[in-house]
Amino acid sequence: MEYNELLEKAKQASESAYAPYSKFKVGACVLTENNKIYTGCNFENSSFGLTICAERNAIGSAIADGERKLTAVAIYSPNEKHCYPCGACRQVMTEFASENLDIITEGDDGLEITKFSEIFPKGFIL
Strands 27-32 vs 97-107: parallel, antiparallel or unpaired: unpaired
Q: Which residues pair with 39 in a beta bridge?
A: 29
Q: pTM score, two decimals?
A: 0.95
Among the listed residues 8, 15, 44, 55, the single catalytic one is 55
Q: Is 15 a catalytic residue?
A: no
Q: What are the tens digits of pLDDT across the range 79-117?
A: 999 999 999 999 999 999 998 999 999 999 999 999 999
DSSP codes, 68-119:
--EEEEEEE-TT-SS----HHHHHHHHHHEEEEEEEEEEETTEEEEEEHHHH
Q: Which residues pair with 103 in a beta bridge?
A: 73, 114
Topology (CATH level 3) of domain 3-119 = Cytidine Deaminase; domain 2 (3.40.140)
